Amino acid sequence: MKRFDKYSTRSSDYHFRQINKWSLKSYNAQVAARFETLVENVEKVAKIEGFKLLDVGCGDGVALYLLRERLPRLELCGVDPSEEALAVARQKVSDAELKKSTSGSLPFEDDLFDVVISSDVIEHVEDPEQMLKEIKRVAKNGAVIIIGTPIKHSKFPIDHNHVQEFFAEDFLEMMQKHFQKCELHESHNLVLSLLYNAPTKSFFNFKYLINLLSLVLNWNPFRAERWNRIQMFAYMYVICKK
C-alpha cells in the first residue's frame, strides 16, 4: 500500500496555492486547467436546483470550492482518507458535507447522487474496480460520472505516489464495464507538460512563461484538446452515465 504524502510534504492546502492567480511562482497552469475543465463539465449537467454532487477523493476541497463559486445551488459532498486535507476543505467549503473515507467504501446510501466526480484519485488506489463499483452504487440512475487521471506513457508510474496509471484506451474500456455512454476527453499536450515540469536553472523559465500567458492573457495551453491525430496528451477525463 502506497502512502499519499503530498499533503505532508507540500502542506495541506497546496492545491489552493496552485490555483492562486495572484502568485506567479506558486500558480500551476497544469493543475488549474484540470480543475477548470472539471468545473465546466459539471456546469453542463448540474444547473438544476437540488442536484447533489459527490467528490470522491476531494482532498483539500479545491474542486468543491470552485463549484460552490460557480454553482451556488448545488448540494456538495466529499470524501477523503486524509483528515489533514479535510480540515482545510471544511474551512474553505463550510456548507459541504465532508466525511473521512476511502474510495472503496463510500459512507452513503445507494442511488443518492446526481453527479459524481473524481480527479487525480483513481491512480492512487489499490483496487480501481472497487472504487468504480462504489461510485456506481451511490449514483442515481442517469447520473453523470466524471473521472480524471493522468495518461500512462511508460512502464512504471511517473509519480511515486501513483499505484498505477492507465493507457487511454484501457481506462475507457474499464469505465465502460461499469457505466454507459462513456466519452474520452484528452488534454494537456504531452510535450508542453514535459517542458513545463522540466527543472531549469537558466534565466528563461518555461513554467513561468506559461503561467504568465495563463494569468495575463487568460490563455492556458493545457486546456487545448486534440486537433490532429498524432498529438500525445498527458491527462484525460472520461464522462459517463449510469
Residue 76 scores a pLDDT above 70:
yes
Q: Is the pTM above the cut of 0.95?
A: no
pLDDT digits 0-9 by tens, 125-158 = 999 999 999 999 999 999 999 999 999 988 777 7
> What CATH number does domain 6-241 carry, 1.10.8.60, 3.40.50.150, 3.30.43.10, 3.40.50.2300?
3.40.50.150
Task: Show me where the domains of the chain are located.
Answer: 6-241
Report, as an integer, the average pLDDT of 69-98.
95
Q: What's the Cα-to-Cα distance from 29 to each of 35, 117, 155, rounded to whole Å? A: 10, 21, 26
SS3 per residue for 37-100: HHHHHHHCCCCCCCCEEEEECCCCCHHHHHHHHHCCCCEEEEEECCHHHHHHHHHHCCCCEEEE
Q: In this predicted model, which residue has the larger pLDDT, 48 or 60?
A: 60
pLDDT digits 0-9 by tens, 101-128 = 999 999 999 999 999 999 999 999 999 9
Nearest to 42 by CA among 118, 122, 104, 108: 118
Q: Is 196 exposed, middle or buried (0-12, 13-18, 19+ CB in 10 A)?
A: buried
| Residue 189, number of CB atoms within 10 A of its CB | 20
Instruction: Compute the distance between CA of residue 51 and CA of residue 106 in angstroms, rounded to an integer.
Output: 19
Q: Is 198 exposed, middle or buried (0-12, 13-18, 19+ CB in 10 A)?
A: exposed
Written as nine digits, the cell of 123 is 491512480
Report, as an integer, the average pLDDT of 56-60.
96
